[in-house]
């Protein structure tokens, strides 16, 4: 049953269906993870709408979760990079800013002892500049 609700919420985000999302989100633990280990928060980053990220964070999602041993923010940045060429995508920096404002720990490192800033520098100049500004308050 929980898996069905999780999949329904993920589907709603994929289809940009805010009503379906809102009807189902209260039926699940906001920090639940799917069969692949990814949380609703990571799935929200794959959507084209920052609405989903904002709602999940406001409902109390742990922004410092780990997914398969790696801090979730790495997966969120990866999602931004993967969909950055998607013409339907709303400014993905908005999604990242929601995490930063919610208190995501930007000092986290992945399994290779790589910081989020180093990871982002290799994949997304836009995200790198945003995170660098937030980390160093420049």
Instruction: Check pLDDT > 60 for residue 81.
Output: yes
**Angstrom distance (rounded) from CA 99 to CA 3:** 25
pLDDT the model gives residue 91 = 59
Mean pLDDT of all residues in 18-23:
97
Instruction: Check pLDDT > 50 for residue 90.
Output: no
**Angstrom distance (rounded) from CA 25 to CA 22:** 5
Count of domains in the chain?
1
Residue numbers of the domain that contains 31? 2-136
Instruction: Check pLDDT > 80 for residue 17.
Output: yes
Q: What is the CATH number of the domain that holds 41?
A: 1.25.40.20
Are 35 and 45 contacting, i.e. CB atoms less than 8 angstroms apart?
A: no
Entry pTM:
0.84
**Angstrom distance (rounded) from CA 114 to CA 103:** 20
pLDDT the model gives residue 85 = 53
Q: pLDDT band at 138, cuts 50/70/90?
A: low
Instruction: Check pLDDT > 90 for residue 60.
Output: yes
Q: pLDDT band at 2, cuts 50/70/90?
A: low
Q: pLDDT band at 112, cuts 50/70/90?
A: confident
Please count the other Cβ atoms lying within 10 Å of the Cβ belonging to residue 124.
20
Instruction: Check pLDDT > 80 for residue 13.
Output: yes
């Amino acid at each position: 049953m929980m898996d069905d609700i999780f999949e329904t919420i993920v589907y709603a985000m994929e289809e940009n269906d805010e009503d379906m999302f809102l009807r189902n989100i209260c039926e699940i633990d906001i920090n639940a993870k799917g069969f692949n280990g990814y949380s609703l928060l990571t799935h929200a980053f794959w959507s084209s709408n920052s609405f989903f990220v904002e709602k999940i964070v406001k409902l109390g999602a742990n922004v410092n979760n780990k997914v398969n041993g790696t801090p979730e923010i790495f997966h969120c940045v990866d999602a931004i990079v993967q969909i950055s060429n998607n013409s339907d995508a709303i400014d993905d920096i908005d999604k990242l800013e929601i995490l930063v404002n919610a208190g995501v720990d930007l000092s986290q490192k992945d399994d290779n002892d790589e910081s989020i800033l180093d990871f982002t520098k290799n994949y997304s100049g836009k995200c790198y500049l945003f995170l660098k500004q937030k980390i160093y308050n420049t």
